[in-house]
Amino acid sequence: MTDILTLLEELQSIARTGLNYSTDPYARAHYSRLLELAATHYGRALDLPAQEVRARLQGELGSITPKVGADAAIFDEEGRILLVERADDRCWGLPAGWVDPNEAPIDTVRREAREELALEVEPVQLVDVMFRPASADWGPHAVVSIVYLCEVRGGKIALSHEVLQARFWTIEHVPVWHKDHLKFAKTARAVWTTRQAKV
């Protein structure tokens, strides 16, 4: 059974995100109502006045913490890495995505591989946790990226609407990389090479 605070965390996160991005008045009214409901039930669960909870939640809108992403590094037997050409910027990168509310990053890489490529993957080793500060080049939010070395356990590559192409690449031959993904790929290759040497 889902803990009520876990449920409320997800509901208020959806509401705050919707209020941040939506300009449709009808949708904004619904997101506001969702935030009110979350605040009311947070108040009951924590024995706090709903108005105080709502003020705290609204206050967090101005306190932006880093976004968290999870990335899957998948290599073939020749040491080539599986990359996707992203539809949003036409650059090549690891299968990746933002961690959803109440989702463990290790589950994010499984979900993203399934959604983007129809592959069932299993994370077998943490590669690294990397940080990128907010900047004019990359956007207003700092990002924490958690990269996992993964193995394909099932499925056959089928592309989602987020992906234009997918293929295995030799890292040095990739024409254009998505943001920090060259660094992710090189770090993952070092981990993969070490694992292979132990086999």
- pLDDT for res 11: 82
- pLDDT for res 161: 93
Q: Kindly report the number of other CB atoms within 10 A of residue 62's CB atom.
A: 6
Angle separating helix axes 50-59 and 25-46, nearest 10 degrees: 120
* Domain assignments of the chain as residue spans, ordered by start: 4-62, 67-198
Write the CATH number of the domain with boundaries 67-198. Answer: 3.90.79.10
- pLDDT for res 63: 45
Tokens found for residue 174: 């990739």
| Residue with the two structure tokens 């209020």 | 19
- pLDDT for res 7: 78
User: Tens of pLDDT along 104-115?
Assistant: 999 999 999 999
Tokens found for residue 162: 């987020």
> Exposed/middle/buried for 177, CB within 10 Å: 0-12, 13-18, 19+?
middle
Show pLDDT as tens, one digit a residue, over the chain (199 residues): 457 777 777 788 888 888 888 899 999 999 999 888 888 887 787 777 777 776 766 655 444 567 899 999 999 999 999 999 999 899 999 999 999 888 999 999 999 999 999 999 999 999 999 998 876 677 656 889 999 999 999 999 999 999 999 999 999 999 999 989 999 999 999 999 999 988 7
